[in-house]
Amino acid sequence: MQKAIIITAPSGAGKTTLVKKLLQERSDLAFSVSACTRHKRENEVEGKDYYFITPQQFQQKIKEGAFAEWEEVYENMYYGTLMSEIERIWADNKTVIFDIDVKGALSLKKKLGSKALAVFIAPPSVKVLKSRLENRGTENQQTLQKRVDKALYEMKYKEAMDTFVINDNLEEAFQQLSIKVDAFIHLDE
Ligand code: 5GP
């Protein structure tokens, strides 16, 4: 059966690390590479982390109906899930895993219904979340404050997902997430 795991969280809750760990451990999962208009960070790889495209190319893809969902996640920064990624992964008989923002997660959950498990990764506290964003070193003072404000608002989406995991200790959070993912993948077998 075609299945999907949607991992969502406020920025800085550690969801990307958890998604990467899941992908390392499970060869039955494949990552849906999103398209986005922000600049590539130093450690990122084109086509692996994202398809980095221009705002014009992004608008063109919207027109073509290429996205399953898309959001302006930050001001003038667009991110979108490509239908072609979902189809490619399902054709390969794998479960697709998404790392996306809360609004995109809700849209995908509505679209995919029982095919998808939507997991909210919650930070243990706002203080921890702020220091994680600072330590990541990818933000300046202005973008940091923006991301913190957004994270506070995004916490409200926790109840809208199927389940949640609190990321206090990475190993424990990973164990909890693995159990949930495994149970979902083997459901109906
Ligand atoms: P970052 O710029 O830190 O890589 O990502 C910013 C936010 O955009 C994260 O919450 C990330 O999960 C989210 N994101 C990444 N890809 C997509 C996508 O295709 N759609 C939506 N709605 N959000 C995305």
Q: What pLDDT score does 89 carry?
A: 98
**Atom of ligand 1 lying closest to residue 100 CA:** 12
How would you write the pLDDT of the chain (189 residues) with one tens digit per residue?
899 999 999 877 889 999 999 999 999 999 999 999 999 999 999 999 999 999 999 999 999 999 999 999 888 999 999 999 999 999 999 999 999 999 999 999 999 999 999 999 998 888 888 887 788 777 777 888 887 888 888 999 999 999 999 999 999 999 999 999 999 999 877
**Atom of ligand 1 lying closest to residue 11 CA:** 10
Alpha carbon separation from 140 to 1, 41, 122 (Å, rounded): 44, 14, 23
pTM above 0.85, yes or no: yes
Determine the distance separating the centroid of ligand 1 and the alpha carbon of 11, expressed in angstroms. 9
Those residues whose C-beta lies under 8 Å from the C-beta of residue 47, and which sit 6 or more positions away, are 33
Alpha helices, DSSP H, located in 50-169: 55-64, 83-91, 102-112, 126-136, 141-154
Is the shortest distance between the CB of 20 and ligand 1 below 6 Å?
A: no
Is the shortest distance between the CB of 32 and ligand 1 below 6 Å?
A: no
Query: Residue 117's Cα: distance from chain center in Å?
Result: 12
Those residues whose C-beta lies under 8 Å from the C-beta of residue 48, and which sit 6 or more positions away, are 33
Q: What pLDDT score does 67 carry?
A: 98
d(CA 162, CA 113) in angstroms, rounded, equals 11
d(CA 108, CA 117) in angstroms, rounded, equals 10
